């Protein structure tokens, strides 16, 4: 029963799911799209709440070394500088993430998104990714998009602005394996 508990069909029967209408569209990995991706995904991510413990420990360790040991000051200042850097990372994490994405080779490229009976494929000049329907564990619907959570733990965000309302419903039904 590794697939979880389901009502209706037995483990030996596959639940019938309506076929998805093939759909293809293109979009650009622009700053606006990436901003929406970050803003909509953050509340559902693993680090939705910032972890202040790490910079506090770094700062305390650096201060402790500075005040209570005769060691060279370089290690102390390095730990304090790392604590400050980590606090800046927490404070500016949206800008930090967006900058890293915009510096990447995929930024600004055209992405072709295809949805068909097999799954969801994205392709640009450098990469091609396929997420099969059977590999999707669940779909998280946000105000502006869908977060597809794979069984491997990876997540993929798709903006609802790319789809019609009917197609959004079809994606959710198909991904959840509902009839």
**Across residues 126-147, what is the average pLDDT?**
92
Q: What is the pLDDT of residue 17?
A: 56
**Closest Cα partner for 145 from 39, 21, 48, 46?**
39
Q: Which fold has domain 23-30+108-176?
A: PH-domain like (2.30.29)
pTM for this model (two decimals): 0.74
Q: What is the pLDDT of residue 111?
A: 93
Contact 162, 11 (CB under 8 A): no
Q: Residue 60 — very low, low, confident or very high, per pLDDT cuts 50/70/90? A: very high
**Residue 70 burial (C-beta neighbours within 10 Å; 0-12, 13-18, 19+):** exposed
Q: Residue 133 has which token pair?
A: 């329907």
pLDDT value at 33 more than 90: yes
**Across residues 24-53, what is the average pLDDT?**
90
Q: How far is it, in rounded angstroms, from Cα 26 to Cα 114?
A: 9
Q: How far is CA 27 from the centre of its chain?
A: 18
27 DSSP β-pair partners: 111
Domain ranges of the chain: 23-30+108-176, 53-101
pLDDT in tens, 73-131: 899 999 999 999 999 988 999 998 999 999 998 889 999 999 999 999 999 988 899 99
Which of the pair, 44 or 71, is modelled with greater confidence? 44
Q: What is the pLDDT of residue 37?
A: 93
Q: Residue 16 — very low, low, confident or very high, per pLDDT cuts 50/70/90? A: low
Residues in CB range of 103: below 8 A, 6 or more apart: none
């Amino acid at each position: 029963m590794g697939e979880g508990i389901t009502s209706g069909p037995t483990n030996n029967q596959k639940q019938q799911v309506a076929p998805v209408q093939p759909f293809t569209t293109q979009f650009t990995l622009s700053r606006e799209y990436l901003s929406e991706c970050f803003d909509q995904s953050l509340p559902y991510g693993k680090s939705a709440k910032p972890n202040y413990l790490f910079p506090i420990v770094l700062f305390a360790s650096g201060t402790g070394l500075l005040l209570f040991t005769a060691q060279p000051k370089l290690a102390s200042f390095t730990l304090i500088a790392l604590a400050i850097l980590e606090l800046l990372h927490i404070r500016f994490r949206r800008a930090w993430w967006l900058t890293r994405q915009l510096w990447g080779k995929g930024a600004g490229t055209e992405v072709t998104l295809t949805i068909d009976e097999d799954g969801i494929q994205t392709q640009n000049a450098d990469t091609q990714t396929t997420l099969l329907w059977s590999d999707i564990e669940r779909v998280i619907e946000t105000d502006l998009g869908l977060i597809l959570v794979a069984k491997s733990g990876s997540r993929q965000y798709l903006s609802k602005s790319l789809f019609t309302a009917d197609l959004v419903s079809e994606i959710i039904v198909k991904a959840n394996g509902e009839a």
